[in-house]
Amino acid sequence: MESKRLSKALAAAGVASRRACEELIFDGKVTVNGEVIKVPQTLVNLEKDRICVEGKQVRSEEKKVYYILNKPKGYICSNKREGTKRLVVDLFAEEKNRLFTIGRLDRDTTGLLLVTNDGHFAQKVIHPSRNIAKEYLVKTREDITHEMLTKISKGTLIEGAWIKPYKVQKMRKGTLKVVVKEGKKREVRLLVQNGGLEILSLSRIRIGELRLGNLPEGKWREMTESEKASLFN
């Protein structure tokens, strides 16, 4: 096996997306042959070098798996255990591969979430250059007025940048769809709340051309090759 950059080797081994692997390296959580390495470009060989992440050895490149999950409320998109908080990966207890989510939904948001052990694939999906649309269904306490829709459409300040949704559409009384491409933390919640609406429920129903469909909440299934391709159409 040829040598690879450390961040790329970790992503190939299913540790996390390449960006997340770089963060682990910068945080001093990765060792190579017993030495803490903080340079993602360091060349390593998965077969010859002993690479550990947070004390656990990374064995080799795993068979890549790709899942669609209908995330239930109350679960966190993280692999770090904090107290009794439930993690999305807990739903995959029978899966032997080390899994992680592609991107995140906050604890109270439900819906379409991708779970994998392929860091390269995850990086393709979340990279801003892909400009992949994500569609959310929002149910609110109030009836939605034209003025509210206009305010949401104009955007709001999030993480120091002015963020506007790609599309906002009222479906019926108290229900709207919001399509975004930015991927900022809690951006849909902030956009809708800025419009003067109280959110009762928020669910992601589409990523690219991949739709959640009728998959029950809390259930997951494998992605097909055509579904993977539909993310980038």
187-194 vs 146-154: helix crossing angle, rounded to 10: 130
Nearest-angstrom CA–CA distance, 82 and 69: 22
How many helices (H) and strands (E) the chain has is answered by 6, 19
18-26 vs 119-126: helix crossing angle, rounded to 10: 100
Active-site annotation holder among 106, 108, 118, 143:
106
* Burial bucket for residue 199 (CB in 10 Å: 0-12, 13-18, 19+): middle
Helices (H), the chain: 6-12, 18-26, 119-126, 146-154, 187-194, 225-230
**Residue holding tokens 């990374």?**
58
- How is residue 84 annotated by DSSP? T
* Of 98, 7, 9, nearest in space to 45 by CA: 9
Q: Is 143 assigned a catalytic role?
A: no
Q: What are phi and psi of 75, to 5 degrees?
A: -110, 145
Region for 74 from its dihedrals, namely left if φ exceeds 0, alpha if ψ lies in -120 to 50, beta otherwise: left
Which residues are identified as catalytic?
106
